[in-house]
Amino acid sequence: MLTGVNFEKAIDYYKKGKEVIVLDRNSLGKNEKSGYDTFSFSELGKNLDFLVDVPAVSNQEFEQAVQDMVEPDQNENDTEGDE
C-alpha cells in the first residue's frame, strides 16, 4: 500500500532502505498518458547538486594572494590619476 508523506519522512524511509516513489504533480497530462509521471527517489537527485550554507573558513594564504593581485592594480590607478 502506498501513502503520501512529506519530504522529511520520505528521506527517512529512503535512508532505512525502503522504496520511495516520487509523484510529479506537474506532469499531469503532459506525459501523453492520463496519469502522473512517477520515478524512484534515488533518481530524484541524480542531476542535482545540493548546496548548504556553512561557516566560512579563513584561508590566510588565499587572502594574501588576493591582496597581492589587487594592490598592483590600485597602484596603477593611482599613477594614472597623477598624469
How many Å apart are CA 5 and CA 16, to the nearest integer?
15
Specify burial of residue 36 (Cβ count, 10 A radius: 0-12, 13-18, 19+).
middle
Mean pLDDT of 20-27: 79
pLDDT band of residue 73 (cuts 50, 70, 90) is low
pLDDT of residue 6: 87
8 Å CB contact between 24 and 37: yes
How many Å apart are CA 64 and CA 34, to the nearest integer?
61
Residues in the chain: 83
pLDDT band of residue 56 (cuts 50, 70, 90) is confident
Dump pLDDT digits (tens) for 59-71: 899 889 989 998 8
Mean pLDDT of 30-47: 72
